Structure 1
Amino acid sequence: MSALTQRCKALFGYMDQLVHRIPSVPRDILTTALLLYAAYWTSGILISHTGGENNSALVFVLAVVCISFFTTGYAYGITASIIGTFCINYFFMVPYSAFSLSHTGYPVAMLSMVAISCIVCALTSRVKQQAIEAVRREKNTKTLYEMNEKLNAEKAAIQLQSARETIRGNILRAVSHDLRTPLTAISGAASVLLSSEDILRSEKNASLANDIKADADALIVMVENLLSVTRIQDGTIPLKKREEMLEEVAGDAILTTRRRFPNCHVDLELSEDILYLPMEPMLIKQVMVNLLENAVRHSGSQSGILLNLFRQDEWAVVEVRDHGKGLPPEVCQAVQSGRPLSRDLNGDSTRGMGIGLSVCQSIIKAHNGFFAAGNAPEGGAVIRFGLPMKESDHE
């Protein structure tokens, strides 16, 4: 019995798909014609058994109800009502095979038949439309529920990610604070050793002391960069801007770089305009020092580094050029897209190129400036950033 039921369901599904392949208008016309013919055929069987007394009017009303249910709109049901009334008068009322309104009660019966059929048609169509609307609302409710669940899941994921970032920033700050003191002590001890004549007499010992100091200083810079980028990104460093000359900040940055790299040669090129603008001077100096150190460490050359300051419209622009091997394509793409850089973007990640550039991006973004990086046609890297000459109104 279950196998027969399954076969009937499969056949019904196949027939339903086959019927719905037909366009709606031809399908509705065919449905109306078939049901009216079924009503005519059924009424013919009834009148052959009952003689003059038959229920053809009820049969055609049932046909109108079915037509209203299986077709679209009211037109087919009303048309079927009129045709059904004519068929009842012509085929199933005396005189047979003739249209007549002469008998008593025929006009009222026909008008009543049309009215009842139209009312039934309207009610059936309305019920069908309400059922369709209920299904549509159910689908919309289900879609909204699924969207709400998806949004809740995304919100939970964002909150989890935010919590992870907060924990990561707190860990980085704690570790950086703990590392800064011993690193400073190591750098100071290395400086003391380099001033000792006993160390200087041995070239090997002097080289080792220089390496210790250079690595300690590099780690101190990396620690400062980590502290700055975590504080800026989570907003714990409020900018204390004041009017400063960009040329003075650039001079301090060059002096700091020369102290760390005595053999480094940096040319400073200034514009005719005096660049006096609001900024956090210590942070902007850190950006310049990071860019100059990246040029020294990653260009492969300590000569030919240019620090250029100029005005472009309403921007004070700082540009660092070198004549080294240039920036990797992935670094240029990351800077152009504005996404944060990773220290893994460069093979020498221990020197913190990715962290340094990430710090620069964060600081310049906090100043509402722009940051760009690329390679010059003649060779070497070109990194520039711009600061607004005037304070924005919304700040």
Structure 2
Amino acid sequence: MFAKYIKDSLITILALICAFGLSLLFQYKLAVEEHITTVFVFAVFLVSLLTKGYLYGVMAAFAGTIAVNYAFTFPLFALDFTTTVNFISGIVMISVAVLTSALITKLKKHEAMKAESEKEYMRANLLRAVSHDLRTPLTTIYGSSTTLLENSAGMTEEQKIKIVEGIKEDSEWLVRMVENLLSITRLDSGQVKIIKTPTVLEELIDSVILKFRKRYPKQSVTIEIPDDMVVIPVDAILIEQVIVNILENAVQHAVGMTKLTFRVFTLGKQAIFEISDNGCGINPKRLETIFTGYYTSETEIADSHKKNAGIGLSVCATIIKAHGGTIKAENQKTGGAVFRFALDTEEISNDTE
């Protein structure tokens, strides 16, 4: 908090010094006096824009008025508000500056309230998605375990194993969803700081594919990555989580999929990650809210099958945004869906080579 006060004070002082220096240039070098007041009003505008609250803007307004009267109006280098011209000029400048400061501060508060309102809206959407995502696997686990307890005597060993495998699968999915939920809440609350370390793309992909194949050994993935070494500054664990979530989303929701492709290529100073399938694609209405975890209609909920993409894709968007990247989902003209996100790359030094 104290550091914030120091920062705001330094911004105010620097803005006034710059305005004073520019005014000296106008008056003594360019012989242009009529814009001096405008320069100080602009300085007050910047102070109000870059600092918090009314205080610094109002202080800058009074300081600017005194500076103009002292150094740029006759008599020079003397405070004189006794003449009608100086008095009116001072009142007008203070009024304009204070009103400007008040307006900017009010706009900033309005934007802050709007942002908070949107955040609450997103939290409500996330809660709705969580409720829906948890219901199906929990119901399945409860039903399967009840069946096993009540009818185990009349079941074959193969039937029992099949039920237990179903319980295990749903339990693993619940664990992953809880991990996703913890990640998104920690990132949103600022409890987790993104610590970027230079990561070799090939090593990142190898780790992702290893984890994915443990979960889905029967699902093949076509991998396409650059031949040259690519280094990206990321939190490797979080980016792995993003890629696995998107791959898992394709397995769970791309009905009719026969091909899953994971491609990475460089474009300028960015690495583009692209995961595509040839399945059923995404409901066009769902595309608008796919990264919010929010379903806009009961139809979308019904279309989302057993396990929803809501939380997992919300996590993906949050992690990529925290890395300063962008993420997008769209349907392909040839059929199926494609998820694409971009991250900055890092130049490889000679030592690294």
| TM-score, length of structure 1 as denominator length | 0.48
Aligned mate of 1:386, from 329, 338, 342: 342
Q: Cα distance, 1:211 vs. partner?
A: 0.9
Q: Deviations over 1:51-101 (max 9, x none)?
A: xxxxxxxxxxxxxxxxxxxxxxxxxxxxxxxxxxxxxxxxxxxxxxxxxxx
Aligned CA distance change for structure 1 residues 204 and 240 (closer, same or farther; 3 Å): same
Number of the residue aligned with 1:66: none
SS in 2 for 1:351: coil
SS in 1 for 2:194: coil
Number of the residue aligned with 2:224: 269
SS in 1 for 2:162: helix
Q: Cα distance, 1:210 vs. partner?
A: 1.4
Number of the residue aligned with 2:159: 204
Q: How does 1:61-210 map to 2 (within 5 A)?
A: 161=117, 202-210=157-165
Aligned CA distance change for structure 1 residues 350 and 342 (closer, same or farther; 3 Å): farther
**Which residue identity lines up with residue 308 of structure 2 in the other structure?**
G
Corresponding position: 1:222 with 2:145:
no
SS in 1 for 2:288: helix
**Aligned partners of 1:322 and 1:380 also within 8 Å:** yes
Corresponding position: 1:322 with 2:322:
no
Number of the residue aligned with 2:208: 253
SS in 2 for 1:344: coil
SS in 1 for 2:295: helix
**Which residue identity lines up with residue 234 of structure 1 in the other structure?**
S
**Aligned partners of 1:265 and 1:303 also within 8 Å:** no
Number of the residue aligned with 2:293: 342
Distance 1:167 1:322 in 2: 30
Aligned CA distance change for structure 1 residues 160 and 360 (closer, same or farther; 3 Å): closer
Q: Cα distance, 1:330 vs. partner?
A: 2.3
Distance 1:163 1:380 in 2: 31
SS in 2 for 1:236: coil
If each structure's helix is expressed as a fraction of its own residues, which one has the higher value?
1
Higher mean displacement: 254-263 or 292-301: 254-263
Distance 2:119 2:269 in 1: 39
SS in 2 for 1:290: helix
**Which residue identity lines up with residue 198 of structure 2 in the other structure?**
E
Relative contact order: is structure 1 or structure 2 higher (C-alpha 8 Å, sep ≥ 6)? 2
Distance 1:321 1:160 in 2: 35
Corresponding position: 1:300 with 2:255:
yes
Q: Cα distance, 1:273 vs. partner?
A: 2.4
Aligned mate of 2:317, from 361, 364, 372: 361
Distance 1:304 1:163 in 2: 37
Distance 1:153 1:238 in 2: 26
**Aligned partners of 2:247 and 2:275 also within 8 Å:** yes
Number of the residue aligned with 1:51: none
**Aligned partners of 1:225 and 1:356 also within 8 Å:** yes
5+ residue gaps, structure 1, are: 1-143
Q: Cα distance, 1:304 vs. partner?
A: 1.0
Number of the residue aligned with 1:18: none
Q: Cα distance, 1:230 vs. partner?
A: 1.3
| TM-score, length of structure 2 as denominator length | 0.54
**Aligned partners of 2:198 and 2:346 also within 8 Å:** no
**Which residue identity lines up with residue 269 of structure 2 in the other structure?**
E
**Which residue identity lines up with residue 342 of structure 1 in the other structure?**
G
Number of the residue aligned with 1:239: 194
Q: Cα distance, 1:331 vs. partner?
A: 3.2
SS in 2 for 1:372: strand
5+ residue gaps, structure 2, are: 1-99, 348-353
Higher mean displacement: 288-297 or 267-276: 267-276
Q: Cα distance, 1:238 vs. partner?
A: 0.3
Number of the residue aligned with 2:329: 373
Aligned CA distance change for structure 1 residues 356 and 243 (closer, same or farther; 3 Å): same
Number of the residue aligned with 2:26: none
Aligned CA distance change for structure 1 residues 167 and 312 (closer, same or farther; 3 Å): closer
- State the percentage of identical aligned residues: 36
Distance 1:166 1:288 in 2: 23
**Which residue identity lines up with residue 210 of structure 1 in the other structure?**
E
**Which residue identity lines up with residue 157 of structure 2 in the other structure?**
S
Aligned CA distance change for structure 1 residues 356 and 152 (closer, same or farther; 3 Å): closer
Q: Deviations over 1:273-315 (max 9, x none)?
A: 2221111000000000000000100002464111111111111
Distance 2:108 2:236 in 1: 43
User: Number of aligned pairs?
Assistant: 225
Distance 2:315 2:175 in 1: 14
SS in 2 for 1:262: coil
Q: Deviations over 1:134-178 (max 9, x none)?
A: xxxxxxxxxx9xx99x97995896597599689989x98xx9xxx
Distance 1:303 1:247 in 2: 25
Distance 2:267 2:114 in 1: 39
Aligned CA distance change for structure 1 residues 312 and 158 (closer, same or farther; 3 Å): closer
Pick the structure with greater CA Rg. Answer: 1
Distance 1:204 1:258 in 2: 25
**Aligned partners of 2:332 and 2:338 also within 8 Å:** yes
Number of the residue aligned with 1:280: 235
**Aligned partners of 2:282 and 2:330 also within 8 Å:** yes
**Which residue identity lines up with residue 164 of structure 2 in the other structure?**
A
Higher mean displacement: 364-373 or 245-254: 245-254
Q: Cα distance, 1:332 vs. partner?
A: 2.5
